[in-house]
Amino acid sequence: MPRAAKVAVSDATIHYDKLYTYRVPAALEGRVFAGSMVLVPFGRGNRPRMAVVLELADAEEDPRLKSLLDAAPEDARLTPHLLELVRFLQERTFCTWFEAVKAVIPYGAQYCPGTKDGRPVLKNRLAQPKVAVYTLAAPLPEKPKPGPRQQAAVAALQAGPRTRQELLAMGIGRATLDTLCHKGVLRAQERAATQDLLADLPFDPQPLVLSPAQRAACDALLGDLRAGAPRAALLYGVTGSGKTAVFEELIAQTLAMGRKALVLVPEIGLTPQMLRRLKARFGSRLAVQHSRLSNTERLIQWRTIQRGDADIVVGTRSAVFAPLSNIGLIVIDEEQEHTYQSEASPRYAAHDIAKKRAAQENALLVFSSATPRTETCYAAKTGRIRLVELNERYGGRPLPGVDFIDMRAELTAGNPREVSARLVEELARNLQRGEQSILLLNRRGYHTVGMCAVCGQVLKCPNCSVPMVYHKPRHALLCHHCGHQVCPPPAACPACGGRMVYSGFGTQKVEEELGALLPTARILRMDQDSTGQKNAHAQMLGRFARREYDILLGTQMVAKGLDFDNVTLVGVLGIDSLLFGQGFRAYENVFSLITQVVGRGGRADLPGRALIQTTVPGHPVLRLAAAQDYAAFYNEEIAFRKYGLYPPFCAFCVVGFSGEKEADALFAARRFAALLAHNAAQDKTLPLRILGPVPMNIALLAGRYRFKLTLKCRGDAAFRALLRAALAAYEAEKLPAKAAVTVDFNSDGDL
């Protein structure tokens, strides 16, 4: 019986994103598997298109069945586990099949259509990087007398094979090597390139003695690790309690069992620090996956993992798809971070993928945090996952003392600046003592608002409904959402000609103020604008660690996870706008951000202190964050979630609609709501609340009008089936032509 392949094709809109059946031609017999990348003739014109095989079946005797054109080599195939993740993504996040495939395979490892001898074939997106390796094959003949270069080449290879690059570095040229190969003295071979991105990091294992609290936490988790039953746990520990040491120990045990470990960090900026620690302890069998690697670097790392040559993988969200097998342990560090949720299709949460992988591999999954997500803590408190706690800082170091600075009083006292007198005083004191400070201001740019003094109009982006931000180095207004630029910034109001007044402050302005107030201070500003260059992040943090700067000023990238022993003062500026931000996680985010940044201080022998500038010093969330009282915060928050019906008490799904015409987008949203409500009415057992449609927080983005529906529902298969049916009905009415639809189960209220 001939075989058939059921495939998902690339670039499908949800509209025709179903599985298509193709015959496996005799020429490809035995080379096509579930998970294979293939090329298929698609549509009426039979244009070649990329596809992935979801399953194989027996082919029916249908003469209309088209045949596959080509198949990628077997090493490009998705393993059964990864293919299962593709299915999981498609089912849970409502993405297309191929969006799921692209999330699982990095760009460099993907294929694209090409031609060979006029026939359509698959082609690597990226040439697999290869290196030439030379080996000694025969003794060097004495006649004719070999030259000194030839002798040097042979001498260099006595100890074993070397790459062309290494030989070139020794002054042995290509011509010499070619001559020797020609004589049969050397043999040249091509080998897949490997690359030690971590070569500069020392391998320097230090004995790590766990404190009794760390030992107890570790032991509580080791049982689950050894049992090999898929279990999840929350490792809750205050900042500086030494959570990293606990999971280092778990990694050691995992490797000792012959299994592998996957460690996720929330930001690229935290990978160097984690790599340094793990390399020092475990050596080079370590691979990295994150989006700042070049496509080639990423591919080489990915292949290394796929070949089984890495025992530990460190990376950001997307590393959760690393082709690692035999996983014994997955760690999600700082699990509360929103960066673990993807904000483009497929809109997944790394947590859910990690759970799935832990189940596939019978691995232990550890969520680590000083301020866990309310949902995670609830799961731990209700026994769905194990709860393990570290209640004190390592070495009994005290948590930093926190004080508030009332910025209303500061204004009344006549200080027009953004940095309060008290904070400047403390910064000066640190400067004198040679201690370092970290300042958090979660806004980049210089001025954040431009407003007409006469008509009151705010300068907004023409494509987006947000104010333009003034960037001093470029002397331009920038839209932080679509990149639109106005240079120079208008001095007069475009509407009435009145005088424009620029106000509000971002990191650039504070940097300037500090420079004037503390002329001797060496200030390092870290935000999206100053870290654009590759490796800028790591280099800046490295320089701060070497004490080349006194003050590190930055957006939330300076708040999290960093461990510097000379930091004793932490300042928080401009936090209030976050406090009054929208979304049901606003309080949780502020609590976590303050706790995290305050926790950066006093981590070693010197005690730390923190100052929070605010206009609402009495705000309960700020009070609780200052007291670092997570337990009390959690109690308040869980009560609010229950009362207001938010996760974990329901699933929360935002469906977004965007279109070029406002009326179309609104109409589509209304119609979809009606379709969904109609379907839901058929099944009274399914609880569902539909809120909206209302405009999104950013009602106009990059020229598209945006509306949203908020669904409070059950996060189960029955609800997903209902939603799928409504989407199908929406498609059938051809509404998608008017408004694109987006489904997000991880949103905190907006898209």
Binding site for ligand ADP (CB under 6 A): 208-211, 214, 237, 239-245, 394, 563, 603
The nearer residue to Zn ion, 197 or 482, going by C-beta atoms, is 482
Q: Which residue among 484, 522, 543, 623 contacts Zn ion (CB under 5 A)?
A: 484
The nearer residue to ligand ADP, 139 or 207, going by C-beta atoms, is 207
The nearer residue to ligand ADP, 392 or 731, going by C-beta atoms, is 392
Residues 243, 320 contacting (CB under 8 angstroms): no
Contacted entry of ligand ADP, Zn ion, none for residue 666, CB cut-off 5 to 8 Å set by kind? none
Where do runs of H (alpha helix) occur along 307-420? 350-361, 374-381, 407-412
Contacts (CB under 5 A) with Zn ion, residues 401-420: none
Contacted entry of ligand ADP, Zn ion, none for residue 90, CB cut-off 5 to 8 Å set by kind? none
Distance, CA of 121 to CA of 246 (rounded, Å)? 50
Contacted entry of Zn ion, ligand ADP, none for residue 237, CB cut-off 5 to 8 Å set by kind? ligand ADP
Contacted entry of Zn ion, ligand ADP, none for residue 242, CB cut-off 5 to 8 Å set by kind? ligand ADP
Q: How far is the CB of 471 from Zn ion (least distance, A)?
A: 14
Q: Which of 22, 31, 20, 35 is nearest to 71 (CA)?
A: 31
Q: How far is the CB of 402 from ligand ADP (least distance, A)?
A: 17
Contacted entry of Zn ion, ligand ADP, none for residue 21, CB cut-off 5 to 8 Å set by kind? none
| Cα-based distances in Å from 40 to 44, 46, 166 | 12, 8, 43
Q: Give the phi and the psi of residue 288 in degrees, each rounded to 5.
A: -125, 145
Contacted entry of Zn ion, ligand ADP, none for residue 563, CB cut-off 5 to 8 Å set by kind? ligand ADP
Q: How far is the CB of 234 from Zn ion (least distance, A)?
A: 39
Stretch that binds Zn ion, among 272-280, 483-491, 504-512, 524-532 (CB under 5 A): 483-491
Q: How far is the CB of 599 from ligand ADP (least distance, A)?
A: 6
Contacted entry of ligand ADP, Zn ion, none for residue 504, CB cut-off 5 to 8 Å set by kind? none
Residues 622, 594 contacting (CB under 8 angstroms): yes
The nearer residue to ligand ADP, 242 or 372, going by C-beta atoms, is 242
Q: How far is the CB of 318 from ligand ADP (least distance, A)?
A: 23
The nearer residue to Zn ion, 104 or 477, going by C-beta atoms, is 477
Q: Which residues contact 415 (CB under 8 A, 6 or more apart)?
A: 421
Q: How far is the CB of 266 from ligand ADP (least distance, A)?
A: 12
Q: How far is the CB of 327 from ligand ADP (least distance, A)?
A: 22
Q: Which of 12, 1, 3 is nearest to 36 (CA)?
A: 3
Distance, CA of 215 to CA of 657 (rounded, Å)? 51
Q: How far is the CB of 340 from ligand ADP (least distance, A)?
A: 17
Pairing, β 47-58 against β 130-136 = unpaired
The nearer residue to ligand ADP, 204 or 343, going by C-beta atoms, is 204
Q: Which residues contact 217 (CB under 8 A, 6 or more apart)?
A: 235, 237, 246, 388, 389, 390
Q: Which residue has the tokens 């992988």?
A: 357
479 binds Zn ion (CB under 5 A): yes
Where do runs of H (alpha helix) occur along 460-506? none
User: How much of the chain is helix, strand and coil, in % rounded to 5?
Assistant: 35, 25, 40
Give me the DSSP letters along 436-452.
EEEEEE---SSBSEEEE
464 binds Zn ion (CB under 5 A): yes
End-to-end alpha carbon distance in the chain:
49
The nearer residue to ligand ADP, 208 or 645, going by C-beta atoms, is 208
The nearer residue to ligand ADP, 210 or 255, going by C-beta atoms, is 210
Contacted entry of ligand ADP, Zn ion, none for residue 516, CB cut-off 5 to 8 Å set by kind? none
**Quick one: tokens of 129?**
């990087």
| Cα-based distances in Å from 712 to 407, 689, 691, 744 | 39, 5, 8, 12
Q: Which residue among 179, 463, 615, 697 contacts Zn ion (CB under 5 A)?
A: 463
Q: How far is the CB of 210 from ligand ADP (least distance, A)?
A: 5
Where do runs of H (alpha helix) occur along 580-687? 586-598, 620-626, 630-644, 662-682
Stretch that binds Zn ion, among 129-137, 312-320, 458-466, 571-579 (CB under 5 A): 458-466
Residues 744, 347 contacting (CB under 8 angstroms): yes
Q: Give the phi and the psi of residue 196 in degrees, each rounded to 5.
A: -100, 95
The nearer residue to ligand ADP, 208 or 632, going by C-beta atoms, is 208
Residues near Zn ion, by CB under 5 A: 461, 463-464, 479, 481-482, 484
